[in-house]
Amino acid sequence: MKKWISHSKVEGKASRQAHTNLPEGTFEREMGKEGFFGPATHFYHQHMPTGWTDFEGPLQPRAFDTTKLDDNVGSPWQAAELLSNAHCKFRCWHSDGKMDHLVRNGDGDELLFIHDGAGELFCDFGHMSFRDGDYIMLPRGTMWRIESDGPVEMLLIEATNSSYMLPEKGLVGPHAIFDPAMLDTPEIDDAFRAQQGEDEWKVLVKRRHQISTITYPFNPLDAVGWKGDLMPVRINWRDIRPLMSHRYHLPPSAHTTFVAHRFVICTFTPRPFESSEDALKVPFFHNNDDYDEVLFYHAGNFFSRDNIHPGMMTHHPCGFTHGPHPKAMNNAFTPKTDKTEEVAVMLDTRDALDVTEAAEKIEWTGYVDSWKPKN
């Protein structure tokens, strides 16, 4: 048995309720454990916690522009790997939309997020259409391919040696955020049956980050039926109904969509701003000292960030304070609109992520300076 060394105390000039009623002229910073789930302390500073004049070393916040990837390729195993650790691989695939082979991931479940484009996905379980904003979770070992009339841009997030699951939703119950009944699954329909045949097909299997090629004299997607409770699922961000509080700014963990071993996936979707006058309307400054934080910006206006457009991604290594840019802090309590407009995918990993050479080639090196006050 173990227990946190923890008891609540208020020292000096402080708010009794986090993220609201900040002492005049102060900036709130949260220092916590377990990615907003553990004990935490809130500090009230006279200066903005991100007001550095210089920042050198590997803890620098970094930004990358995936729109600058020049790699239209036909297979997900050729996709640019941008970030990785022992439990997660984060890749960006600019597909030409036409796969002439099947693939299978033997290293872990695969999560696809469709950033741009639409088309058809065929797999062991049948056929499903996809569009921009779809998440598609493919269990480890699933054979699949996509077919599209145009290019498709997507994220591929591998749960290495792990499985994707749904988060526990606690007091709000299992139907909050999205009802599991909203998860679509592949169908053995006319389109699936039409692609079956006796032509030769190759399956490129990834295992231990090496590729094996298996050749069949027929299309191995030849199932006539199946039963069970293991299957691919699809949900679009437009079907997510975010948790909200009109009097309190909820932490990112409230927007968790999928969980895997040692990382989580969260989805930020449009929602009304907090209406209580004393409540913060922007993310609070925080030390995320247990997780690396990655944000992929999919669509909309990113209200807490400057100079960020769809297709960009940011990486905040654990161990330093971060939060809204200075421009966003001007509207910390009085937003210019009545709701957020951003759609973003967040990856929070318990283990440090390594940045690849492919990511460094598309890096915006000025990101670390974007917190500096503008004169």
- The catalytic site residues sit at 249
280 and 182 in one domain? no
* Residue 122 tokens, joined: 């065929």
Bind-site residues: 286, 292, 322
What mean pLDDT is predicted for residues 292-297?
A: 97
- pLDDT given at position 2: 86
Integer-rounded Cα radius of gyration of the chain: 22
What is the chain's mean pLDDT, rounded?
A: 94
Rounded CA-CA distance 146/117 in Å is 11
Give pLDDT tens digits for 56-86: 999 999 999 999 998 889 999 999 999 999 9
- pLDDT given at position 35: 84
- pLDDT given at position 373: 74
- pLDDT given at position 1: 83
Rounded CA-CA distance 311/293 in Å is 17
Give pLDDT tens digits for 224-274: 999 999 999 999 999 999 999 999 999 989 999 999 999 999 999 999 999
> What are the two backbone dihedrals, phi and then psi, of residue 86, each rounded to the nearest 5 degrees?
-65, -20
- pLDDT given at position 311: 97
For residue 356, the enclosing domain spans 27-63+241-371
- pLDDT given at position 302: 83
- pLDDT given at position 8: 86
Taking alpha carbons only, the member of 163, 161, 68, 145 closest to residue 101 is 145
283 and 157 in one domain? no
Q: Is residue 12 part of a domain?
A: no
Q: Is residue 11 part of a domain?
A: no
265 and 195 in one domain? no
230 burial via Cβ count (<10 Å: 0-12, 13-18, 19+): exposed
Give ∠ CA 142-298-178 in degrees, rounded to 5: 65
* Residue 242 tokens, joined: 């975010």
Rounded CA-CA distance 9/12 in Å is 10
Q: Is residue 10 part of a domain?
A: no
Whether the model clears a pTM of 0.75, i.e. scores above it, the answer is yes
Q: Which of 237, 254, 270 is the last residue of a domain?
A: 237
- pLDDT given at position 6: 82
Query: Are the C-beta atoms of residues 33 and 15 closer than 8 Å to each other?
Result: no
111 and 77 in one domain? yes
- Annotate 306-317 with DSSP letters as a single string: SS--TTEEEEE-
Q: Is residue 188 part of a domain?
A: yes
Rounded CA-CA distance 44/24 in Å is 10
Bind-site residues for homogentisate: 322
Rounded CA-CA distance 232/239 in Å is 17
328 and 359 in one domain? yes
Query: Are the C-beta atoms of residues 44 and 30 closer than 8 Å to each other?
Result: no
- pLDDT given at position 326: 85
Rounded CA-CA distance 242/268 in Å is 8
Q: Answer yes or no: is pLDDT of 292 > 80.
A: yes
Q: Answer yes or no: is pLDDT of 375 > 80.
A: no
Q: Answer yes or no: is pLDDT of 310 > 70.
A: yes
User: What residues contact 288, with CB distance under 8 A and at least 6 apart?
Assistant: 35, 316, 318, 322, 348
317 and 346 in one domain? yes
Residue 336's pLDDT band (cuts 50, 70, 90)? confident
For the CA atoms of 129, 134, 140, 144, the dihedral, rounded to the nearest 10 degrees, stands at 30
75 and 54 in one domain? no
- pLDDT given at position 70: 84
Q: Which of 237, 252, 271 is the last residue of a domain?
A: 237
- Name the one residue in this structure whose structure tokens are 């909203």: 182
Q: Which of 3 and 25 is assigned the larger pLDDT?
A: 25
Bind-site residues for Fe cation: 286, 292, 322
Residue 374's pLDDT band (cuts 50, 70, 90)? low
Query: Are the C-beta atoms of residues 144 and 103 closer than 8 Å to each other?
Result: yes
- CATH of residue 122's domain is 2.60.120.10
Q: How many domains are contained in the chain?
A: 2
Rounded CA-CA distance 246/272 in Å is 8
Rounded CA-CA distance 55/58 in Å is 9
Q: Is residue 5 part of a domain?
A: no
Residue type, 120: E
Give pLDDT tens digits for 115-164: 999 999 999 999 999 999 999 999 999 999 999 999 999 999 999 999 99
246 and 230 in one domain? no
82 and 216 in one domain? yes
Rounded CA-CA distance 15/172 in Å is 27
Taking alpha carbons only, the member of 92, 107, 201, 89 closest to residue 145 is 201
Q: Is residue 298 part of a domain?
A: yes
User: What residues contact 245, with CB distance under 8 A and at least 6 apart?
Assistant: 274
Give pLDDT tens digits for 166-222: 999 999 999 999 999 999 999 999 999 999 999 999 999 999 989 999 999 999 999
Rounded CA-CA distance 300/310 in Å is 7
Q: Which of 204, 237, 270 is the last residue of a domain?
A: 237
Residue 331's pLDDT band (cuts 50, 70, 90)? confident
35 and 113 in one domain? no
Q: Is residue 22 part of a domain?
A: no
Residue 34's pLDDT band (cuts 50, 70, 90)? confident
277 and 248 in one domain? yes
Residue 367's pLDDT band (cuts 50, 70, 90)? very high
144 and 291 in one domain? no
Q: Where are the alpha helices (DSSP H) in the chain?
A: 190-194, 326-329, 357-360
Rounded CA-CA distance 195/197 in Å is 7
Q: Is residue 1 part of a domain?
A: no
